[in-house]
Amino acid sequence: MSVFASIARFASDYRTRRRRMHTYLELLSLPPEIQKDIGWPTEEEMPRRLERRTRTYQPIQRRLV
């Protein structure tokens, strides 16, 4: 993979993340009634969804021989 291709992929990934964040913030700015109508999770459901998506960090344990 060339350097240009790597930079292009990084830029594309960055744009995608920004678009998703923008969409997420737009949905959060809607009134709760509309969020419910479109199926957006309630505040009580959000922590459970985040728990499923996040991975726990487990450092690699190296054995000294």
pLDDT tens-digit series, residues 43-63: 777 765 556 555 555 556 666
H/E element holding 62? none
Residue 60 lies in a domain: no
Residue 58 lies in a domain: no
Instruction: Answer positive or negative: Cα dihedral of 50, 51, 52, 54.
Output: positive
pLDDT at 43: 74
The pLDDT of 26-55, averaged and rounded, is: 78
Residue 8 lies in a domain: yes
The pLDDT of 31-40, averaged and rounded, is: 92
Number of domains in the chain: 1
Residue 26 lies in a domain: yes
Average pLDDT, the chain: 81
pLDDT at 48: 59
Cα separation of 43 and 50, whole Å? 11
SS3 (DSSP) at 1: coil
Residue type, position 46, single letter = M
Residue 17 lies in a domain: yes
| pTM for the model | 0.57
